[in-house]
A and B are shown apart, each in its own frame.
Chain A
Amino acid sequence: MIVSGSVVALRQENLDTDQMYPGKYLSLITRKDLGRLLFEAFPKGRELFESHRDASIFVTGENVGCGSSREHAVWALNDWGIRAVIAPSFARIFHENCYSNGVVPVVVTDKAALDECFSAKTLEIDVDNEVVRKDGREIARFTLDPLRKDFILHGGFLEYMATKVDQVRAWREKAPVA
């Protein structure tokens, strides 16, 4: 699986999910069409995304997605067309939420490689081989969690969980602790 396309880059550390998706819209129970609310309270982010309407790869700074667990942030990014996020580090819940929605979380810690990502107009992310390429040239390698990578490549996180129901039930019956 290859994720390739144009890049939107925001040099900012600790980009929290309140910036990506404001709390006041947590009242919506839909997971669709949330891109219109992306960065709604954060003009710098909104203007940047508005000027990169066709972006599919989001490059940003350390600790991306910190703060609130709201999956709405990833739903909004996904609705915008973002298929991968590149950052030197991810906050835990946002990281998992990316996986849950098939948005490839790409950790690039090497500063030179990250700079190349920030300055790129387009990038190519080879998910199978865990490689980032720029103009056909490899600029970074990354590691995906093997299990969650499989969910990205073949889908079916919930289908996978559904296969575990009987096993968890059997375990429950024998569990030492109530």
Chain B
Amino acid sequence: MTVSTQSTQATAFDPATVRADFPALHQEVHGHPLVYLDNAATTQKPRAVIEAVERFYTRDCSNIHRGVHTLAERATAIYEGARKTVARFIGAPSPNEVVFTRGTTESINLVARSFVRPRLAPGDEVVVTWMEHHANIVPWQIVCEEAGATVKPVPFDDRGVLDLDAFEQALSDRTRLVAVGHVSNALGTVNPVARLVEIAHAYRGGGGSGIPVLVDGAQAVPHLPVDMAALGCDFYAFSAHKVYGPSGVGVLWGKAEHLAEMPPMLGGGDMIRTVSFDGTTFAEPPSRFEAGTPNIEGAGGLAAALEYLSGLDRDAVARHERALLEHAVDELGRVPGVHLVGTAPGREAIVSFTVDGVHPHDVGTILDGRGVAIRAGHHCAQPIMTRFGVPATARASFALYNTHDEVEALVSAVRYAQEMFGV
């Protein structure tokens, strides 16, 4: 395994070169070269990730932690090595603060169930924003419903910028947690997470000692450098598959003192210290939260993805992705009848839009006919759609391997949709 610290091994970034690393990009769809612009839904995988998963099954396949044989040792090394790689990548003080889950959704549910639920009393509140993905709304609704507590959403303005005054006003002595998305999956807005953490931690009502903050980083980790110390948050959740890794594995990072006091969500093997019918004692974090045989190859694949990213010049990648977004915003913005949804300054990699006279689902189907893959729908963020008064949007989202020619293909396909519908 080659592990590089950021930029020391970095070579000049050239999207044309990195495209060669992603086998799935090189295919035709309906007779057109695939233009994959649905990266906020999931990213394509570099060969390094595919090979890491394949290597596990062709060479190292075993269960972890238990066996004393060679393959078990290799599998354990892959899994625990991945934990260290993740910790390094996100600037976590210790790998023991990295819990492997099935994805962002499970990570958030784990915090809802094991951290927030035991602290909730009737009348308490969990503060979220109006721009959250359903995965950062519904878990809080479920535990709040059980406890007689409420989920309080903080509004954003017409551009999709969070209202900081409203955020401060939303905090109260009853706030048990703030849960906020780092980057909005539907709008591309980057929330000022470090500032929100500062405000929440500084809150001193009713003799409290600050409010803990969970950050949904699913859309941020692929694009922004994330550093737990710099963000200052209490929990950070993300998924491997959105950052060029495999499906079915994700991360919950939590401060050690929080994880230590959390009961397990699932019981089973590999999360216990001792089991007897007189009583069972649980393992320390992170094992306490990883009952059963985990997604070993997925963790290995995630590590391969993060190492792949670390091997690139990430500043250059970020500049490239921003240039693609600017290009798309600029060109789409000039097409009559196209309206951008979400115009916050400093957005990341996502452009949502509507086309007069063509429903987003029709836009999606017509673009697919030209080989252009985008997402159409409510993006699991219905409150956002309600806020903008649209049933759905079309969304193009960029990754490091996209090109400016692909932006042109997107815009040309949108014009073709308008032509076909006679609008």
Pairing of A with B = no
Hey, which bits of chain B sit against chain A, CB under 8 A?
none
Q: Which residues of A contact B (CB under 8 A)?
A: none
